[in-house]
Chains A and B, each alone.
Chain A
């Protein structure tokens, strides 16, 4: 590797706030037996981030995607008994390609990816979220909510790969995107690669337009057109905000409400 890797060590019971500027790529090492929340601020166009998670730990990674970001590539290895939760809110940046690959390397490793994404104008937002169940008794979850407006597009590829002999692996995918305007577009591809019996793999994806039928139902109860559109849309984006700090949560809600 030509670039120097900047490394961060995460340990204990703590909250970290890290602003990545030119430290690219960067890597985070989570010690065994720790419980950490990491608020990660990304500032450069291209971002390569590695995570190495020790045993019997928990890491909550929270990212609010900002304007200038074009590419994010996240790789993680999760050890035995460790849980890695990723929360991404993507509301006000431009087009983006976000790739996340989480390897569940040892038993009882688990990971979840929660996404709230809004696209507007002619933005294209690509999310490629993969979980590799390398051994049995590993657990993964994708929970993605999106709203695409104007001429924009949201594409969510969720890949769950359950390797040979990974018995009792459990992979869950859920993607719900609402298409707000006539010309907006949304694609959700759940990809399940399963090389083992005795596993649980579920996926549900729903792509809906802001259907006249929905709006009419709300209007018929006295709710105004503007409020009806808001209610339908806010429901998709708000749930992710509760995973962030109180301060960020308020910021996110404010931003979403300002948008509609």
Chain B
């Protein structure tokens, strides 16, 4: 049964068109691997699915459970069962992780979770992803190591039980043990909650552990190839060049001059910041 149907989706960020007609379907409970060279729009697709306000959909449609996903606000999409584990999770000073988790859990249920139940659940889930429980008293992702941030994303996934979880390079920066832990969590989630997964990764290792049902390749802002899991090993062995030849697509090389974020947090001697006017 179809869960998420993306049709002819075009989207731009700051005037640059990145998605140029994406067609992709994810079925209920299915695990789909999304591959593609750097800078070809994979993260952009997830950002658009989640509703990141920086990205503008210029045409096309996304149906979620038969409803128009694009008409929902970001928090409504989450409440509808969509989850995104970010490639680079934000560090948020001043927000205590536990308060944030509690707020997120409560947003997904009718009556507020009891404090005892919450801490029990949090403690168990921390164990599952192998994060020390003290972490929940720290500010959200603030000063977390790369691997800790990734596991913190999985922690939230487990707490929120989404219908569809999108994982953006969840395995990058993880050591071998952590990859094993994360894939175990993913498999358990599939098993017990029938959560569907859209997983972006550049490495076959994760896919060997979570065994996707299907794979899709994104190039130049389009899905150019779909197939079963054998597509992953083909790309792992041969790269993307064969696609250029076989399908006659010229793969654009990634631009190296990515715009810098206007970051205003950090250790400083003297600092004065007026919030950027948008």
Contact = CB atoms under 8 A, between A and B. Distances in A.
A235 B272 contact: no
Given A179-B274, A207-B273, A212-B278, 17 more contacts: A187-B272, A188-B270, A190-B269, A208-B273, A209-B264, A217-B92, A218-B92, A220-B75, A220-B83, A221-B75, A221-B107, A222-B79, A222-B107, A223-B104, A231-B99, A231-B100, A235-B96
10 contacts: A182-B278, A186-B272, A187-B271, A203-B269, A208-B93, A208-B273, A212-B278, A223-B75, A231-B95, A231-B103
A205 B74 CA distance: 31
Interface string A218-251: 1111111101000111011000000000000000
A207 B270 CA distance: 10
Given A232-B92, A233-B94, A216 B52 contact: yes
A187 B273 CA distance: 7
Interface of A: 145, 176, 178-179, 181-190, 203-214, 216-225, 227, 231-233, 235-236
B47 to A, nearest CB: 9
A214 B107 contact: no
B167 interface: no
Q: Which residue among A187, A203, A212, A213 has the maximum number of chain B CB atoms within 10 Å of its CB?
A: A213
A179 B271 CA distance: 13
Given A213-B90, A217-B90, A235-B96, A222 B267 contact: no
Provide the main secondary structure of the chain A interface. mixed
Nearest to A188: B271
A32 B29 CA distance: 71
Contacts of A188: 270-271
Contacts of B90: 211, 213-214, 216-217
Contact of A217 (B53, B54, B89): B89
Interface residues of B, number: 47
Interface in B102-122: 103-104, 107-108
A168 to B, nearest CB: 23
Nearest to A210: B275
B275 A182 contact: yes
A168 B104 CA distance: 46
Interface in B239-278: 261, 264-278
B86 interface: yes
Nearest to B275: A209
B67 interface: no
Contact of B94 (A187, A222, A224, A236): A236
B73 interface: yes
Contacts of A212: 53-54, 278
A232 B104 contact: no
Contact of B93 (A176, A179, A219, A225): A176
Q: Which residue among B84, B275, B276 has the maximum number of chain A CB atoms within 10 Å of its CB?
A: B275
Contact of A223 (B96, B103, B268): B103
